[in-house]
Amino acid sequence: MPHIITSPCIGTKDQACTEVCPVECIYDAGDMFLIHPDECIDCGACVPACPVSAIFPEEDVPAGEESFIERNRVHFGL
Per residue in 1-40, pLDDT tens? 589 999 999 999 889 999 999 999 999 999 999 999 999 9
CATH class of 3-75: alpha beta
Residue 60, CA distances (Å) to 15, 30, 39 in order: 22, 24, 20
Q: What is the dihedral of CA 54, 1, 35, 18, to 10 degrees?
A: 70
Per-residue pLDDT band at 78 (split at 50, 70, 90): confident
- 3-class DSSP state of 34: strand
pTM: 0.92
| Closest residue by Cα to residue 13 from 58, 52, 44 | 52
**Cα angle 36-49-25, degrees, rounded to a multiple of 5:** 15
